[in-house]
Each structure stands twice: as structure tokens, then as C-alpha cells.
Homo-oligomer: A and B are copies of this chain.
Amino acid sequence: MLLMEHESKELLEKHGIKTARCIFVQDENEAIKAAKSIGFPVVMKVASREILHKSDVGGVILNVNNESEAKKAFNKLMSIEDVEGVNVQPMLKKGIEIIIGVTHDEQFGSVLMFGLGGIFVEVLKDVSFRLIPLTKQDAEEMIKETKGYRLLEGCRECKGDVNALIELILKVSDVVENESILEMDLNPVFVYEKGYVVADARIVVGNKKSFKEKIGDISFFFNPKSVAIIGASRDPRSPGHTIVENLLSYKGKIYPINPKAEEILGLKCYPSLGDVDSIDVAIIAVPSKNVVEIVNECAEKNVKGIIVISGGFAEGWEYGSELEREIVEIAKSKGIRIIGPNTMGVLNPENGFTSFFSPITRMNLKTKLGNIGVLSQSGAFANFLLFSLHHIGFSKIISIGNKCDVDEVESLNYLLNDKKTEVIAVYLEGFTNGRAFYELMKKSNKPIVVLKSGRTKAGKKSALTHTASISTSDDVFKAACKQAKVVKVRDYDELVDVVKALSLLPLPKGDRIAVIQPSGAECVMSADAVEENGLRLAEYSDKTLERLVELSPEWHTISNPLDLYPIIEKSGDKAFFEILEIVANDDNVDAIVTGAFISLLLKQDFRWLKKIEKPILFTFKDDLEMFRQAKMKVENLGFPVYSTPERAIRALKHMLIFV
């Protein structure tokens, strides 16, 4: 329900927010009395729940100077359609115009918007968002990230009281937390050199959506004592075959279910679920139309969890949505959990358990046990990460597809509690419970890196037909990531770049970067990238400089970025590791981005470098087979490799979020 202006302002005043209080009147004499009590000149405004834009209907009269003008104004305003009364308020001194708004996002709940008025909001859409409640730091950052902030800071002979604004934002956050408020528009707020006043206010009250969620334990999906594969097949091209193949090294009991086969890949086959002993997890890889029946059989067998690999559910057609609802109903009634449908499911490199149907065994892809936990809505995306980072190592991978039951919140919660997981990579197309996901991200003490697709209108349309998810506004999610101190990346490469660095390296202590490169071109490009990413080039200590000068030909200028080539020409390539050690041990240096000569990397052992507790990121092209060998060697020794200094420097920028 929309409150009237005077009601809105009363509510705000009750919480200590300074408004240009207005007196609501419904007859001429009251209006004159009100104007007199405020003192001429006054502003008179139409009051109505139906009128959203008062100016557009001629509903705001400024500079009402005396009784007769007040009378005239009152009568004019009362003749406007839908009028309920008139508000009388003092004329305000003009300040910098600010807008503070609150909306109730379908996925993230109460969101606060801040922006400067006029051109900034109307022409430039120069606004920032934060989820409510905000901290003082959130409020400060959201003000500073608008372009209009420069105006508040002081320029063009005006200046705004930023501290008072921060206080106002925090109070608005409080009001929304404590009252049943869905929407709010404080527009405009005048900000002065000292203080502010809310000139106009609209508040919509109502019941807020609850984002409470019972977060179940899904850990049993990663180490079942027994697993059945329904749809196990002898055809190597079929998912039901590949899953069995990928499970061959798993130590639990494996029951391929296929009424027509005696055995598959040396494992005895069973005609139906009824023919096997107890089953912890069932993997279903049969056409969607047959899945309801299978889920019923699972229910009879008291299966704990089901992973539905098959597509053809809500991502495709309306009947698929019905099928999904049906299997969820059956499962819920029996306390069975479901991952999927339309997914790869899980992969646990520690024990070899997996429901992945990509031919990882056939490709001889050895997945190292490591510290990267993956939560991916898309199975294919999880699979890409497996290709790119199998040698860096994963703790657990979970892909949740249409998330008819197990959702992103439970999955993230699982990874947060998983001891082997130290870094979390997330790919999502839409949220089931954005607010609960945000709360978890915020609580996390493990670094999280998120790629959220379906950002654009076109993107969203495609998301609807893929995993049947509805994207939320990218602005709000961007704000959520900032508040939760989570890295939000734009594409696959960026995700891999950051996750790799976080997995292998210690965090830098600061933003002073040393760049060492074998060519001048890479030095110049690196310097651009350091500045464009908001980092600083470290200034070497005297001790470092002295030694670098000794190693260099007399004509070479030592600087940061450091051009290696002339040094190697004079002192030989063995000088490289010495330089790296000197620079890394320089107290003025927080992180190192270094190129290297590939032949040198291939022939030297440099695992001792790991003792230096600063991040060292290597950069060289991996276009040729020899280069790729060098990359694998360097990454296996624990240092991430990037194809360009720009990518390494971008990864470093993101690492600093966690410092």
C-alpha cells in the first residue's frame, strides 16, 4: 500500500530522518493556518495515492507568498483529478539533488539505490545499489562509486555533506529492516555543505518475501556406499555407458541397471532396481518421460539421493516442467534428495565417485585432488573447468542443472563446509534463492569467484530455455558480490585465471607489483595493465637496484617493469632466477608478474621458489607444444601461467579483494 507523503515523512521522522515535514490539509482555512504556522513563503503540493508524478499534473506550486496566494493555490490543487488533499511545506534552500530508493527484488529482497538527481540519474543512469542492511563501509562505497560523487566532493562551487548522507543511507537501511516497507523513493533529497533534508518521499508498505531456506546436508552424494546407474548402456556413445566407465575405479558397490544386458564393462548388470540390495545414490540416465517411474522405484528402495542426468525437463517444454514437479513431489514425500535434472551431477576426485558422463576416463584425464570446489549450474561448464584445471586440482565438483530440488544455496553451503575446499568457483545462470546465497557468500571465509551469465536481455531469454532459470538484474547481483567480497568475473577465461591464482598462491599483502619481462613490449603493455587495473608498480629498494645494475649491461636502464633481455644477454639465463629471488624478497614488492625464457623453465628445477611467500605469476604464450610443456611444468610446481601479462595482472587485481 502506498503511503501518502505526510505519512511517509512521519514514518521517516520517527526513525530520525530529517524531512521537509508537510502538513496535510483538506480545507482552505486549514491550508492558510498551516502556511502561517510554517511561515511564508511555502510550497503547496497535491496529495493523492493515485498521482505518482505530481509535477506532471501541475500538482506542485512553489513560492506561495501570502494568504490570498495560498487560497488560490489550494483551490487549484483541489481541482486536480484524484486529489485527496493538499500538503503545505516550507520552501527549501536548494542543495545538491540526491535520490535514495528502495526496491524489493524478487531474488535478493530489499535493495537500496543511490544516485545524484537531474542529469545524473535521468541521462546517465549513474546510480549504485546495495543490499539492505548496509554497513557504513557499504554506504560510503556506494556513494563513491557514482560518477556524481565528484560533485559532492566539491567542484563547480558546490559541495555536499557526505557524512550526513552516509548516516541517512544507514537510517533508511534501518527503517526498511524494521518496518514492513517494500518500496521507497526519497526524491529529491537536498544535500548541503552541512546536513540534508528529504524534500519528497513515497513509501510502499507491505509484507516482504521471506528467503528462509532449510539447508539440507548433501554430503552423502559425494561418497555413497552403493550406486545404481539406471540407463547403463553397452553403447560407448551413450551417457549411461560413460558414467559406468568413469565409475570403474570407484570402491563402492556399483549396480548398472539394464534389463537387456548381462554385463557392461565387466560389471554384472541388473534388470531393475528391484533386483539389487540397498542403494545410497541412483544415477538416472533415461529419457525424461521414463524418469517418474524410476523415481517411484527409487522411493520404494529407500534411496537417499537421485542424480537425474537426463534433459527434456523444464528447460525444454511445458510437459517437462510437469515431469519435474512430479518427481519432486514423490521425492519430497519420501525424504529423497534430487540433483538435476539436465546436469552432470557430482565428481569427487578423492574417491573417484562421479556421475559425469563426459568421457574423462577414455580421454585419460587424470583429475588431481586439489583445493578448488566447483558449483556450476551447467554440466558442460563444470566439464570445461575439468579440462582447464585438472592438473591444478579439485576438491569437489557439483553441477545442479535445473535444480528441481538441490539448489545453489545447499551446494555452496556444502562446499563452504567441505574441508578439502579452499577456493570456490561458481557458474550460475539464475537464482533459486538469491538472498540466501548472498548471506552464505558474505559469511564465507573461503575466496569465491562467480561467473553469472544471462546478464543481458538476450542472455535472459536464452536462460529461460536452458536450465529454466530466471535471471535477476545484473546490477543487484553486482552489488551483492561487492558487499560479500566475492569476485564477479565476466567470462570463462577470467574465471579460470583468478581461480588458478587463488588455488596455487598466497594472497598478496598489498598492491605494489613488480613486473619482470623478457621484452620491452611486454614491459610497456604490463605498465598499461597495472595502471588500468588500479594497481601500483613497486619501487625497488636500493639493495635490489644495486644488484640489478651489477647484472645489467652499462647502457641498460633499470626500472619496473624490468626488461630482462639485456640482462640475460650480459649475465646469462641463470641470472633469471637470481633476479626473481631478489625482487621477490624486496620489502617494497607485494607480488611478481614475470615472463621467462621457456627453455630455461624446462631445464631448471625451481621448486625452492615456493618458499617465497608472495604470489608469483608467470606469463608466456602457450601456442606451441614446447610452450605448453613449460606451462604444465610451471603449474605443476605451483605457479599459475598466463598467456599475457595483462591476464596475470587482472587476476592479481581480483586477489586483492580478499586481502
Binding site for B on A (CB under 8 A): 118-120, 122-124, 147-148, 150-151, 155-156, 288, 311-313, 315-317, 319-320, 342, 363, 365, 376-381, 384, 387-388, 427, 429, 453-459, 461-463, 465-467, 491-493, 518-532, 537, 553-557, 559, 561, 563, 565-566, 569, 621, 623-628, 643-644, 646-647
Instruction: Specify which chain B residues have a CB less than 8 angstroms from the CB of A519 in the assembled complex.
Output: 378-381
Instruction: Specify which chain B residues have a CB less than 8 angstroms from the CB of A623 in the assembled complex.
Output: 387-388
Question: Which chain B residue shows the least CB distance to A627?
Answer: B387
Q: Say yes or no: A457 contacts B381, CB within 8 Å.
A: no
Can you offer 24 A-B residue contacts whose CB atoms are under 8 A? A118-B156, A119-B151, A119-B156, A123-B147, A123-B148, A311-B569, A315-B520, A319-B555, A378-B519, A378-B521, A379-B519, A380-B519, A380-B521, A384-B621, A388-B621, A453-B528, A456-B527, A459-B524, A461-B559, A466-B520, A467-B520, A493-B644, A493-B647, A628-B628
Q: Say yes or no: A518 contacts B621, CB within 8 Å.
A: no
A322 to chain B minimum Cβ distance, whole angstroms, is 11
Q: Say yes or no: B520 contacts A380, CB within 8 Å.
A: yes
Interface centre among A454, A557, A647 (most CB of B within 10 A): A557
Instruction: Specify which chain B residues have a CB less than 8 angstroms from the CB of A120 in the assembled complex.
Output: 119
Known contacts A123-B148, A124-B147; A559/B465 CB under 8 A: yes
Question: Which chain B residue shows the least CB distance to A323?
Answer: B555
Q: Say yes or no: B566 contacts A316, CB within 8 Å.
A: yes
Q: Say yes or no: A531 contacts B122, CB within 8 Å.
A: no
Copies in the complex: 2
Say which residue of B458, B493, B525 sits within 8 Å of A528 (CB atoms): B458
Instruction: Specify which chain B residues have a CB less than 8 angstroms from the CB of A155 in the assembled complex.
Output: 122-123
Separation of A527 and B460 alpha carbons in the complex (Å) = 8
Q: Say yes or no: B521 contacts A458, CB within 8 Å.
A: no
Separation of A379 and B522 alpha carbons in the complex (Å) = 11
Instruction: Specify which chain B residues have a CB less than 8 angstroms from the CB of A123 in the assembled complex.
Output: 147-148, 150-151, 155-156
Say which residue of B462, B526, B537, B561 sits within 8 Å of A523 (CB atoms): B462
A-B contacts besides A123-B156, A429-B521, A462-B561, 15 pairs, CB < 8 Å: A118-B156, A119-B151, A122-B156, A123-B147, A123-B151, A316-B553, A377-B521, A388-B621, A388-B623, A457-B531, A458-B528, A463-B524, A466-B523, A467-B520, A493-B647
Q: Say yes or no: A556 contacts B380, CB within 8 Å.
A: no
Say which residue of B151, B315, B492, B563 sits within 8 Å of A644 (CB atoms): B492
Question: Which chain B residue shows the least CB distance to A466?
Answer: B520
Separation of A134 and B167 alpha carbons in the complex (Å) = 51
Interface centre among A429, A519, A524, A555 (most CB of B within 10 A): A524
Q: Say yes or no: A555 contacts B492, CB within 8 Å.
A: no
Question: Which chain B residue shows the least CB distance to A320?
Answer: B555
Instruction: Specify which chain B residues have a CB less than 8 angstroms from the CB of A377 in the assembled complex.
Output: 521
Q: Say yes or no: B528 contacts A454, CB within 8 Å.
A: yes
Known contacts A123-B151, A156-B118; A491/B644 CB under 8 A: yes
Q: Say yes or no: A381 contacts B521, CB within 8 Å.
A: yes
A342 to chain B minimum Cβ distance, whole angstroms, is 8
Q: Say yes or no: A557 contacts B461, CB within 8 Å.
A: no
Q: Say yes or no: A528 contacts B380, CB within 8 Å.
A: no
Instruction: Specify which chain B residues have a CB less than 8 angstroms from the CB of A320 in the assembled complex.
Output: 555
Separation of A395 and B578 alpha carbons in the complex (Å) = 40
Q: Say yes or no: B429 contacts A524, CB within 8 Å.
A: yes
A265 to chain B minimum Cβ distance, whole angstroms, is 19
Question: Which chain B residue shows the least CB distance to A599?
Answer: B359
A550 to chain B minimum Cβ distance, whole angstroms, is 16
Instruction: Specify which chain B residues have a CB less than 8 angstroms from the CB of A518 in the assembled complex.
Output: 380
Separation of A462 and B516 alpha carbons in the complex (Å) = 12
A499 to chain B minimum Cβ distance, whole angstroms, is 14
Instruction: Specify which chain B residues have a CB less than 8 angstroms from the CB of A461 in the assembled complex.
Output: 527, 559
Say which residue of B311, B532, B569, B646 sits within 8 Å of A566 (CB atoms): B311
Q: Say yes or no: A427 contacts B521, CB within 8 Å.
A: yes
Q: Say yes or no: B557 contacts A465, CB within 8 Å.
A: yes
Separation of A119 and B555 alpha carbons in the complex (Å) = 48
Instruction: Specify which chain B residues have a CB less than 8 angstroms from the CB of A151 in the assembled complex.
Output: 119, 123
Separation of A3 and B151 alpha carbons in the complex (Å) = 33
Question: Which chain B residue shows the least CB distance to A451?
Answer: B525
Q: Say yes or no: A527 contacts B462, CB within 8 Å.
A: yes
Question: Which chain B residue shows the least CB distance to A528?
Answer: B459
The 4 closest A-B pairs by CB, nearest first: A380-B519, A378-B521, A466-B520, A459-B528
Instruction: Specify which chain B residues have a CB less than 8 angstroms from the CB of A380 in the assembled complex.
Output: 518-522, 565
A429 to chain B minimum Cβ distance, whole angstroms, is 5
A263 to chain B minimum Cβ distance, whole angstroms, is 25
Instruction: Specify which chain B residues have a CB less than 8 angstroms from the CB of A378 in the assembled complex.
Output: 519-521
Separation of A524 and B452 alpha carbons in the complex (Å) = 10
Q: Say yes or no: A646 contacts B124, CB within 8 Å.
A: no
Known contacts A316-B557, A384-B621, A519-B381; A524/B122 CB under 8 A: no
Instruction: Specify which chain B residues have a CB less than 8 angstroms from the CB of A363 in the assembled complex.
Output: 624, 626
Question: Which chain B residue shows the least CB distance to A153?
Answer: B123
Q: Say yes or no: B537 contacts A458, CB within 8 Å.
A: yes
Separation of A442 and B277 alpha carbons in the complex (Å) = 77
Known contacts A156-B122, A316-B566; A524/B462 CB under 8 A: yes
Instruction: Specify which chain B residues have a CB less than 8 angstroms from the CB of A553 in the assembled complex.
Output: 312, 316
Instruction: Specify which chain B residues have a CB less than 8 angstroms from the CB of A454 in the assembled complex.
Output: 524, 527-528
